[in-house]
Chain A
């Protein structure tokens, strides 16, 4: 009987890490480049950037490659990388009215100013496997491109920006006024402070924006399905590029430093105003990249957690914010694989003692 707990640990661990790298590279297929991942698996990249809360498409692609496609692991790597970067500045508030739109729909009105723009989506496809993709190559792509570009109309003008649907409702007094930003000039920063409850809205939105898609969906779905009372209408969903500006450290003048691709969802739900006038209230969702499922779920949860008296998990701010961070949840779930010898022995000690007491009591009863 060897002393297993001590011997061989280091070597076994190193071999396990090496074996993982080997599994990823042992096949005869061509090595996957990060460019390929970034361009061809862009929705996976978007998801990793959102959950990892760092807008870095190339690094997200690298993380996906290194993690062999495990999106939780990839998001986790990106988050960890983020912790090494200093906080230089906060960007100036961006308005999505300026968004360079690639997709924009409303399910509230049939026709909206600027029009519905379906953009690139799989929503209306039949989910049938396309066996042609089994033989994807340069020639096939070239033919596909030719076909697409040959039939494009050349005289369609696309506006620079689109008006927001909710602004129309707000002008008509159908939608509650936007919530006050609060006295603080700077938002609550969840990466620098830990949450306190009730959490300020800026903290809620930050937490949800980097929440795990599946986790947000589960809770939002529970509310839509019946554990809650939110029946959302999608006022507007838009995907596109938003310019990002920072104030010049000396002059204070705004400078555009780049743009980020985001998905924004605004859901409407009915409520009774404090003045007794019924109006719609707004749930807001925004996340990096194109991730519509997440933005809609986030918007629903933003709305549900603003209930005064929560009656179900999706309405409980603490419940929602504490349990939707995928990186924390996956880490803690995985930690049960670590040794728990000491704890378990301590448990055994208590159990044996409790059994001893129970047996003694049985004897007394028998007498």
Chain B
């Protein structure tokens, strides 16, 4: 699409609101911060987060990134905890569609932009796609230091000793690192970064990926990024290595997948358990093939 065509479309208002909800100045501002974030992988870029008509903590950081990038040609997928039909995903899709008029899909490979909360899709994403992750706590060091002024100093000086000590103490207390999701990673050998509350299962997908990962924390007003082909290493010790969630011996009760992140569902009052793929789009696809 030519710039002029795009600008023309920009002026077409959606329900009395500008294209992409925010005013143009705001979108430009956010795109500049995205460029800076890509240039310094894993560094949290402070930005002037705008208020969205969706509450803080419900993905406003991700929404602002998506809205500042999206054009009418894009095909959007939004997932919440892996699911396309979840409350928040539906709400966000409805909003973005209203103000940006884009096509929506549940199919990971078909999407150009995917916005997600707490999961990375099971199907590998390509270099032509962007994954936008919603972030509640952008600061990986918050666990060990409450003050923002202090954590910014720690990052600037790469002073990560307290984080390592925290992991060591965890092992002393529990025999293992007990961080379940939001597992801290080192990006490009420099910054310790919070990968958002994805399960450990998804962390390896960030390493040397084909895809651009953009992280938006609206309430905390930070943007950060992992550009394609960047080293992303979970914090670990030689004798206590990083491990993903254990689903050995379990598989999806619907599509049969034994290689996906599974949701545990309580079947009945007796406490029986069954398991389903967390990635609903992928599960739907596999289940449809099964039925043919």
Contact = CB atoms under 8 A, between A and B. Distances in A.
Do A and B make up one complex? yes
A87 B199 contact: no
Contacts of B149: 196-198, 318
B148 A318 contact: yes
A343 B267 contact: no
Contacts of B168: none
B276 A80 contact: no
B81 A342 contact: yes
Interface string B227-257: 0000000000000000001100000011000
B270 to A, nearest CB: 13
Contacts of A358: 174-175
B23 interface: yes
A83 interface: yes
A110 interface: no
B219 A328 contact: yes
A131 interface: no
A83 B22 contact: yes
Contacts, number: 182
B26 interface: yes
A83 B48 CA distance: 11
A10 B181 contact: no
A342 B261 contact: yes
A144 interface: no
Given A76-B55, A335-B136, A346-B181, A9 B118 contact: no
B160 interface: no
B49 A194 contact: yes
A143 B26 CA distance: 53
Interface string B192-204: 0000011111000
Nearest to A330: B55
A196 B25 contact: no
Nearest to A339: B81
Interface in B51-87: 51-53, 55-58, 60, 80-87
A334 interface: yes
Contacts of A341: 81, 263, 278
Contacts of A354: 174-176, 178
Contacts of B178: 350, 354
Interface string B267-282: 1000000101010100
Interface in B17-67: 17-18, 21-26, 29, 46-53, 55-58, 60
Given A331-B58, A342-B118, A5 B52 contact: no
Contacts of A87: 23, 25
Nearest to B179: A350
A357 B48 contact: no
Interface in B183-241: 197-201, 219, 221-222
A194 B222 contact: yes
A interface majority secondary structure = helix
Interface string A79-95: 11011111100000000
B284 interface: yes
B82 to A, nearest CB: 6
Interface string A1-34: 1011111111001000000000000000000000
Contact of A84 (B23, B147, B152, B181): B23
Contacts of B48: 189-194
A340 interface: yes
Given A79-B51, A86-B23, A335 B83 contact: no
B245 A345 contact: yes
Contacts of A338: 58, 80, 87-88, 117
Contacts of B56: 327-328, 330-332, 335
A6 B264 contact: no
Nearest to A345: B264
Interface string B97-134: 00000000000000000000111000000000000000
Contacts of A350: 176, 178-180
A84 B99 CA distance: 11
Contact of B55 (A8, A13, A334): A334
Interface in A301-349: 318, 322, 327-328, 330-335, 338-343, 345-349
A33 B49 CA distance: 33
B9 interface: no
Given A6-B83, A13-B90, A80 B181 contact: no
17 contacts: A5-B276, A80-B52, A82-B51, A86-B23, A87-B23, A191-B50, A193-B47, A194-B46, A330-B56, A332-B57, A335-B136, A343-B118, A345-B199, A347-B181, A354-B174, A354-B178, A361-B175
Interface of B: 17-18, 21-26, 29, 46-53, 55-58, 60, 80-91, 117-119, 136, 147-149, 152, 174-176, 178-181, 197-201, 219, 221-222, 245-246, 253-254, 261-265, 267, 274, 276, 278, 280, 283-284
